[in-house]
Structure 1
């Protein structure tokens, strides 16, 4: 374990020194095939060399531009996508070494809430069948006990019990997402990946779903990886936040620290883009990034952000920055953090 991971453990939000989920150099690259013989001509580097801890009882928010690898990272943790290399640990179990039959009992501990409530539910299945399906697959309940458990789950997420006989098209987007949440918690999981669970919903409904997820977290001691674009939503629900750019993590910090004192230039630009409902605010102080996001099939050398960074120096083009904890629990991957933020060169 690296010194950076050891320092991170000293500032865990839940006081747990041992992570529930631990990632070591996780990569997920997708091959690119072309030509008559379908030869491999390259690869999309969706996720590259991710080291990350997620502690029991916390909500880790993951933010970044579209295509930065957030969803791929979440699915790689759950082994819905098998990592190209690296290791994913649930407690002390390396999930990447297990085959599908060995993974099956562990999937009860890891579930996912999908982004789109309109496509994540089978339109041919009733709500009752949808919520009951994981219970049947894992042979947990049958008969009257199954019916009772489904009714309890619907109560937990605020849906009427007569929903068991109805179909997804009869419900609104917010209600469908409640069904998705009920399905995710049916097996009493310990860890849930919430893949942009409110991005397709109206603002008022977003607040209801976020409050529901927070209540369920407290009631069942759940651990969330919450993926989102909306930085205000992430600030509201997260204990810690990881910022991703082009397949790599560039900053990890407690939510309060990251939003008050962002250290990485990319994080500064992201937070600067949050709309402020005040016409008197001087918009000229906003950080505007130049250029387009590079292709993940041909990422820049060195620091991947250097092609758009206003502070770039030659070292940024040549060397990949290491993660250094500059503030308590606050790690950034940038060569110029002390100079940009007027911090001492020695870490926290």
Structure 2
């Protein structure tokens, strides 16, 4: 499985600290390196978002990921991939690490879902576990002898597979969002700015309706469409609170309503949060005349509230098939 080109690509990746990730593949029993992903963003999560488009839910891969001064070797074996492919990548992962150069790699992990790689919360969990293991090793080092399985003399930490405590449902089930809508979220730090979106039912993509600057609170209601549901973000000039308005008119179809309800967790918890946009108050109304900007401990309106990251532990939303889906995902090993 010797492959000089892959080794050269890895050496170049090590030397170029502006490279964030190096995707690798096994082709005809050889390691094949793809183009590295460079660092362009100000946050770790946004860098992970760039990596997501390089991952396939049915194709295994190896990824070398840079975090500060350390490199993590990821063996990605999605449950939808063919079993023989998953087994191949798992069997070869140690030899690939050795061929590239184990001395350069700090951690080796196994991931089975894209979100386990591309959601920063997964890394926070793994960091906490690594800290716990490190503390245990320090305690072991103080003893004359230690035979615990966690105690290793190797500099490479093989974490293998650890199931997330947080199920990351919002990122796994998030809707696609247009580039225009995504960029519009950045404008919401400015008071009197409103950004409105809707779900294209045919494509299930979040699309931008408008960006408006300098709009006073009394004029926001007039921008809510009466023929379909909409999501409107508004930064209040007096309180500086960011409001999220879900308007679901009575004339909207059941399909439109459900598509929009299901899109809320991903929009608030993932797309918005990734752009450092944090909703302070959620308003849910059927009629524009019901729009009142208030500051309450709970959401305003009649719909079931979704989870906001800074209010609830976890990110799951309740829907009819939640338990069935949970059972399915729990069987994935």
User: Scaled by the length of structure 2, what TM-score is found?
Assistant: 0.25
Task: Compare relative contact order (CA 8 Å, sep 6+) and give the higher one, 1 or 2.
Answer: 1
